[in-house]
Structure 1
């Protein structure tokens, strides 16, 4: 599933988790419309936990974050960051395999921020996302404009639709392309 040559190495984790990035990509502002107290959410390609930590605050003490990464070093960075904090028990670390996520929990929301372009076969990834999402669950894919052209992102959007998802939002994000989608076959409600 993951092309190791495209994955941001753990040695560069500092560039993924800093105040400068928070200024342009504030996790709370980006995720507020989608994450509520008590939810189970998945941070796919969590890296050092830039989004995972904020997600854990948003789901509250009754919620759970599954932080998934292919690199053990990234998960260790997140583990050390949350050790001894009140959110430590809310975050479950999961090392995925190179060709599958491998999570069996059903989740309300999946975030895949700047990682889908690292996956050679996006259709396999999207099929696994279907299997993980609860019937009313939503997924949010965000890709960097500097790595993913408009044409390539359009192909991702087509794959999402082809697999039975409905795109419900295309948020404007700094230097990024994003889509939020839900399973159009199972979910018949009109909520967004």
Structure 2
């Protein structure tokens, strides 16, 4: 979901988003393990080539579901190729969002916004839409990249989330990254 296509990572650079080096620095199990449990319905906005989506599907287990959402059909195709013919194919639902709207009606337990919020112009609209599909006690994890997003810009993002009724708490400690957990108030 983005209001400016030229700000999203192009499909041609998808390989840089899914590699062993990234897995070493951003281990999905370590980052998401405390939040995702068996049977949950999880939404990843801006899933890219599925670096986190696949790991989340394993964490949510056979009774869970991941909705991997991206603005670019090419990124969804990368996920499709990765899960084709595996048991994860039944657990990961691919969804192409529109500019300015996620467009998911399923109610979710957890939302991951990893390196994506800074790409979105209408943050209030994003948070309002997420709040409307978030289950009671649901959580949203925002992780923004180091050095790319200023402290003041991140604080402004949190302020916009509060304005639609989301409550912020500490996110996971990730060196140099800006993180926050949002909960439905």
TM-score (norm 1): 0.93
Q: What are the residue-to-residue correspondences of 1:26-175 with 2, within 5 Å?
A: 26-175=27-176
RMSD between superposed Cα atoms in Å: 1.0
Partner of 1:6: 7
Distance in 2 (CA, whole Å) between partners of 1:78 and 1:170 is: 26
CA contact (8 A) 1:40 1:108 kept: yes
| Unaligned ranges ≥5, structure 2 | none
| Unaligned ranges ≥5, structure 1 | 185-192
Stretch deviating more after TM superposition (15-24 or 167-176):
167-176
1:156-178 CA-partner distances (Å, limit 9, x unpaired): 11112222111122322134111
TM-score (norm 2): 0.97
1:34-85 CA-partner distances (Å, limit 9, x unpaired): 0000000001100000000000000000000000000000000000001111
Distance in 2 (CA, whole Å) between partners of 1:113 and 1:103 is: 18
CA contact (8 A) 2:141 2:171 kept: no
Distance in 2 (CA, whole Å) between partners of 1:91 and 1:141 is: 21
Distance in 1 (CA, whole Å) between partners of 2:94 and 2:51 is: 14
